[in-house]
Structure 1
Amino acid sequence: MCDDDIHQGLVHDPRLSRRGFGLMTVAIGGLAATAAHAQDTVVEQDVQIKTPDGVADAALYYPKGKGAWPAVLVWPDVMSLRPVFRDMGRRLAAAGYVVLVPNLYYRAKKAPVIEGAFNFANPEDRAKLTPLRATVTPEGTDRDAAAYMAFLDAQKQTSKARKIGVQGYCMGGPLAFRTAAAAPGRIAAVASFHGGGLVTDQPTSPHLLIPKTHAEFLIAVADNDDKSDPTVKDKLKAAFDTAKRPAKVEVYTGAAHGWTVKGSQVYDEAAAEKAWAELLVLYKRALA
């Protein structure tokens, strides 16, 4: 989970109304052309996925036209599936992937789970997330991961001959680790962006799962997360070395927790684009 003391500031996305949910594309600065391209070349579907615990709502994306592409599972941050993560899914699909973005909290509420502005510095706002976060458990995540992998592999657009990638943001980082351990035969690439709780003193700590994976890792660490606990990156590097898993662990100097997510007060476009480019390089190399 994300540390509430290292929050991503004020988040405001005027597109979080249910009526407009899923209908908007990003059109900010130099990324407008990329978004327009994705809109023209990508199929988007709202899907329902049966899991052992219920029915998960999610968004599915894939390139238009005939063909089969490698699949990617995207675990969103603590505010779950919402327009900014739909934008990410659309953009990734435009690069040649079948992308699934699930709602973390389907056991309690359909997405979007938060509407309007949200301030992580406000205890009342943070309290809205507490019961939702409680529905996301290590055991439940393992069950969800298996269901999502099966769903992706059941899509005719997914190339079963290619490996699958998984990426997570904030609390989605640990979920990406768990997915790689739950499906080591399918997951070949794992990316975590400002992941919270990757190393803990609990037996369920995500870093303890690294030996169970067969993946290459990209760990992008927020500067203020690193300053809060600079030992995390070293423990991760040691765990990767011991498990002989290829990994890049990098602190993004000057980039605060949440820097990759547009709409956050701390969004850093230059650092976000660097992280995105690193992600595409990883997938191009690993998802063969």
Structure 2
Amino acid sequence: MCDDFIHQGVTHDPTVSRRAFIVGSAATVVLSSAIGTAEAKVVEKDVNVTMSSGGVSDSALFYPEGKGSWPAVLIWTDILGLRPIFREMGHRLAAEGYVVLVPNPFYRNAKAPVVDGSFDFSKPEDRAKVMPLAAALTADANISDAKSYTDFLDQQPQTDKNKKMGVQGYCMGGPLTFRTAATVPNRIGAAATFHGGGLVTDKPDSPHLLIPRMKAEVLCCVAANDDKRDPLAKDKLKEAFAEAHLRATVEVFEGCNHGWTVRGSQVYNEAGAERAWSELTALYKRNLK
């Protein structure tokens, strides 16, 4: 599915601890103060989402502690799936005032985490662990799953259904983000991709062809080495967004390579990741209302 778009940055380092992430992100929470206090507490739950295509998706749900309702966000992971670093992203986003679902995209074939211990995509034996899982994620499967996950979020009492929903995706989660925004356009008000793989292809089901069906504002944060490999992709995205009269930002992050936003990746770039996060939260503040 996306081996052509995965670079040396797709690694997993289990030594990156949850504690280190929370401490490291605390300053950002102080600065953003999205829900008024750096001490905002978050409820984290393991949930089972009944899927319309059959089966159950083991997922993680996060929302601010206390009474109230908030806009919902769906996070699509990269090819290594639901694991601690993406739980930490969900926790951080929920602390800023959102109900966040991080599903296991590979629920059809395996429970999360699908990667145990260290992982390096450059090694054939490691690639063999995940590529068959990714191959099962067809466009039709993406569309079906998008409906199930957004329906689940709207069923949560913490979700403010009067406000638009957000969706964001990393690497292979980029196409899933586009398909979600096109599948439930009346619910998705903002969509963001980070080093999205295969957003523009020459196939009839290329994600960029779905842009006319979207109603969301879109943010596409492009890795510098992805842009170097396919410099025309960003131009095709910009053209498609303009023709659809959608507000969109397609930005190449110079000095940031594929995987730069995911802590634990060998190409993780903290400054670039924090800038991408700031653009993401600004996108949500503008549109999830």
Question: TM-score, length-normalised on structure 2?
Answer: 0.92
Instruction: Give the match's secondary structure for 1:167.
Output: strand
2:25 aligns with: 31
The answer to whether structure 1 residue 152 and structure 2 residue 156 are counterparts is: no
Distance 1:142 1:29 in 2: 36
Q: 1:103 offset after TM fit, Å?
A: 0.4
| 1:223-266 Cα deviation digits (max 9, x unpaired) | 00000010000000000011111100000000000000000000
2:214 aligns with: 213
| Alignment check: 8 A CA contact 1:27 1:35 kept | no
Q: Which amino acid aligns with 1:114?
A: V
How has the CA–CA distance of structure 1 residues 10 and 144 changed in structure 2, closer, same or farther, with 3 Å as cutoff? closer
Distance 1:127 1:106 in 2: 17
2:41 aligns with: 41
Instruction: Give the match's secondary structure for 2:167.
Output: strand
How has the CA–CA distance of structure 1 residues 53 and 75 changed in structure 2, closer, same or farther, with 3 Å as cutoff? same
Q: 1:135 offset after TM fit, Å?
A: 1.6
Instruction: Give the match's secondary structure for 2:69.
Output: coil
| Alignment check: 8 A CA contact 1:258 1:267 kept | yes
Moved more, 28-37 or 72-81: 28-37
Distance 1:236 1:4 in 2: 16
Q: Which amino acid aligns with 1:79?
A: L
2:126 aligns with: 125
1:236 aligns with: 237
How has the CA–CA distance of structure 1 residues 115 and 38 changed in structure 2, closer, same or farther, with 3 Å as cutoff? farther
| Alignment check: 8 A CA contact 1:188 1:286 kept | yes
- Unaligned ranges ≥5, structure 1: 17-23
Distance 1:43 1:65 in 2: 9
Distance 1:248 1:198 in 2: 14
Moved more, 115-124 or 242-251: 115-124
| Alignment check: 8 A CA contact 1:2 1:170 kept | no
How has the CA–CA distance of structure 1 residues 169 and 270 changed in structure 2, closer, same or farther, with 3 Å as cutoff? same
Q: 1:276 offset after TM fit, Å?
A: 0.2
How has the CA–CA distance of structure 1 residues 5 and 162 changed in structure 2, closer, same or farther, with 3 Å as cutoff? closer
2:276 aligns with: 275
The answer to whether structure 1 residue 262 and structure 2 residue 263 are counterparts is: yes
The answer to whether structure 1 residue 72 and structure 2 residue 66 are counterparts is: no
How has the CA–CA distance of structure 1 residues 58 and 39 changed in structure 2, closer, same or farther, with 3 Å as cutoff? farther
Moved more, 264-273 or 115-124: 115-124
| Alignment check: 8 A CA contact 1:38 1:93 kept | no
Moved more, 27-36 or 76-85: 27-36
2:34 aligns with: none
Moved more, 226-235 or 114-123: 114-123
2:12 aligns with: 11
Instruction: Give the match's secondary structure for 1:160.
Output: coil
Q: 1:29 offset after TM fit, Å?
A: 6.8
Instruction: Give the match's secondary structure for 1:3.
Output: helix
How has the CA–CA distance of structure 1 residues 62 and 2 changed in structure 2, closer, same or farther, with 3 Å as cutoff? farther
| 1:121-141 Cα deviation digits (max 9, x unpaired) | 111211211211112111011
- Unaligned ranges ≥5, structure 2: 31-36
Q: How does 1:80-159 map to 2 (within 5 A)?
A: 80-159=81-160
Q: Which amino acid aligns with 2:85?
A: V
Distance 2:229 2:47 in 1: 39
Q: Which amino acid aligns with 1:119?
A: D
1:21 aligns with: none
Distance 2:248 2:83 in 1: 29
Instruction: Give the match's secondary structure for 2:193.
Output: strand
State the Cα RMSD in Å: 1.9
Distance 1:166 1:210 in 2: 14
| Alignment check: 8 A CA contact 2:49 2:58 kept | yes
1:170 aligns with: 171
Q: Which amino acid aligns with 2:278?
A: A
1:20 aligns with: none
Distance 1:82 1:53 in 2: 23
Instruction: Give the match's secondary structure for 2:238.
Output: helix
